[in-house]
Chain A
Amino acid sequence: MSTTLLFTIISLSALGAISAIILYFVAQKFKVYEDPRIDLVTEALPAANCGGCGYPGCRGLAEAMVKADDISSFYCPVGGNDVMATVAKILGKEAIAKEPLVAVVRCSGSFAKRPRLNEYDGATSCIISSSLYSGETGCQYGCLGMGDCVAVCKFDAIYMDKETGLPVVIDDKCTACGACVKACPNRIIELRKKNKKDRKIFVSCVNKDKGGIAKKACEVACIGCGKCVKVCPYEAITLENFLAYIDPNKCKLCRKCVEECPTGAILEINFPPRKEKEGDAENTETSKTGKKENE
């Protein structure tokens, strides 16, 4: 009995030792040289492998950045400026700082505001629905409500609101990787500047139809009246195809356009509640100055 045991132990150990030696030599022979900095950079990156940078995973970005002479064209949206600064330090190169972005959903056509005219009964996917027809509502530009954006989000930063049928972005979780922007067949999601205190003003509509048609399809559609364009003191708003667009780089968050919009298509998010009429000017004033300080 004991000899059997002994023999077993010895033969197994010998087998292990021989395999280890073989493996060692094989590893030596087939060793591939890799820049050690790739590992360092990969470690510094957030390891989300979301592809938001345009490279296949964090390691892909790391390899590209190590190879490149100038890393100013690379950016990890998830890690943001801090991570880029760390990476720049490791590589001894310059990284450019970018303003943090966040995804916004440019459609307010909830069940209540945008009546459903027909019923889609197919695979639950916006892209399949959009390849078939213009959607359940009279608006062929807005949210289709099947949640392709939710399915692609790796950070659980977006969910479908069952009440409205629209996706909602959780600003704190959103890393601006842009996966949802690409996933949406109607391109209603946009990456916009995060601004101070997550304050945002944007036209929450992408309907390019004429005013009457747009309004008929959805109560809160942009009808292309151009009032906001006129009222904007910074020329931040442009009107094209009956649709207004607020340039986030020019907008100073004064909120004048929000008041002017007859359909309520322009949204203001995370602003303190407005005071009564006379306080209005003052209010916009503070947000303006706040913005300036930020810059």
Chain B
Amino acid sequence: MNKRITISPSPHVYEDTSVKRLMFDVVIALLPALAISIYFFGMGAIIVTLVAVVSCLAFEWLIQKYILKQEPAITDGSAIVTGILLAFNVPSNLPIGIIIIGSLVAIGIGKMSFGGLGNNPFNPALVGRVFLLISFPVQMTSWPIPGGFKTGYADAVTGATPLGIVKEGLGKGDQISDLMNQVPSHMEMFYGHMGGSMGEIAAAALILGFAYLLIRKVITWHIPVSIILTITIFTGILWYINPETNADPLFHLLTGGVMLGAIFMATDYVTSPMTPKGMWIFGIGIGIITVLIRVFGAYPEGVSFAILIMNSFVPLINTYVKPKRFGEVVNHG
């Protein structure tokens, strides 16, 4: 035998998967929602997405190359996911400069400052989004009104989101039944005909993406289901107590970033717990904090904050919530 054979420890076969593939599966799962945004917001959606993705990739490459002096690894696709998610979380008429700042914060502070992929405690896209929301509150909350494909960008007609309308109305003492007439119907909201961040509007498209992720076994159902269940139950109780001051559970699920957050943001591998039990705790926490912010807080929307807050509990959850070991002797008192 003149050729050198390979010796390696077992196992000798591997599942046909890679980090890159998982990331691109997420990108594919995000495409239906992107299509809906383009349909409703026109060129704005395309520009915002492109700018966010390109700047995220560029910042990651630059930071890895010149600051961390590593081999740039932007081909793994994680920066693309961050870029798309950041774009999905901002209005479709956001000035380009602000998007670039958001990308810098997302990648630079949210991700690379902790050591890059796999080490960041917070979801990078949400770090970028929350930074922008606090720094540029006006631009970040002027939501273009959806209405067919438009080529215009910055001059879009803006309006409030359903959540904003309800929040403001309730603040003035209006009744829910009156406010419901001012917002789109539940069915319209389901397929995305409402004001809001670019990618969060169409629950239908996001659920389609969720199905794809489940089929491809990219994520498990635990986190999205636990968030959605918690929000449904919590707002359901409030609604049951007083339907005139609290919106119905379905309204809460279909508006704002619940679907996008539950399916794509909270399930980010790096910043979510490792065990199913931990995922339940994580999801329930997000659900409760979201509703608390929405109903009792100052902001009309709280998904981003809820996810970031629960992100910070993930190391704790991972330390204390362990999978049940095979043959573990259960101590009955």
Q: Is the CB of A118 within 8 A of B7?
A: yes
Q: How many interface contacts (CB-CB < 8 Å) are there between A and B?
A: 26
Write the nearest CB–CB distance from A126 to chain B, whole angstroms. 13
Across the interface, name the chain B residue whose C-beta is closest to A117: B4
Q: Give Cα A197 to B7, complex, Å.
A: 43
Return the CB mask of A120-155 against B: 1 if under 8 Å, else 0. 111100001000110010000000000000000000
Write the nearest CB–CB distance from A227 to chain B, whole angstroms. 34
| Residues of A within 8 A of B (CB-CB), count | 12
Return the CB mask of B1-42 against A: 1 if under 8 Å, else 0. 000111111000000000000000000000000000000000
Q: Is the CB of B8 within 8 A of A118?
A: no
Q: Is the CB of A122 within 8 A of B8?
A: yes
Our pick among A118, A123, A132 for the contact of B5 (Cβ within 8 Å) is: A118
Q: Give Cα A133 to B8, complex, Å.
A: 9
Across the interface, name the chain B residue whose C-beta is closest to A133: B7
Q: Is the CB of A120 within 8 A of B8?
A: yes
Return the CB mask of A60-87 against B: 1 if under 8 Å, else 0. 0000000000000000000000000000
| Residues of B within 8 A of A (CB-CB), count | 6
Q: Is the CB of B9 within 8 A of A119?
A: no
Residues in A whose Cβ lies below 8 Å from that of B8: 120-122, 132
Residues in B whose Cβ lies below 8 Å from that of A122: 7-9
A182 within 8 A of B: no
Residues in B whose Cβ lies below 8 Å from that of A194: none
Residues in B whose Cβ lies below 8 Å from that of A119: 4-7
A116 within 8 A of B: yes
Q: Give Cα A67 to B4, complex, Å.
A: 58
Return the CB mask of B62-90 against A: 1 if under 8 Å, else 0. 00000000000000000000000000000
Residues in A whose Cβ lies below 8 Å from that of B4: 116-119
Q: Give Cα A121 to B11, complex, Å.
A: 12
Residues in B whose Cβ lies below 8 Å from that of A132: 7-9
- A-B contacts, 25 of them at CB < 8 A, read A116-B4, A117-B4, A118-B4, A118-B5, A118-B6, A118-B7, A119-B4, A119-B5, A119-B6, A119-B7, A120-B6, A120-B7, A121-B6, A121-B7, A121-B8, A122-B7, A122-B8, A122-B9, A123-B9, A128-B9, A132-B7, A132-B8, A132-B9, A133-B7, A136-B7
Q: Known contacts A120-B8, A132-B7; can you find 8 more A-B pairs with CB under 8 A?
A: A117-B4, A118-B5, A119-B4, A119-B5, A119-B6, A119-B7, A120-B6, A132-B8
Q: Which 6 pairs show the lowest CB-CB distances between chains A and B?
A: A121-B8, A122-B8, A122-B9, A119-B6, A119-B4, A121-B6
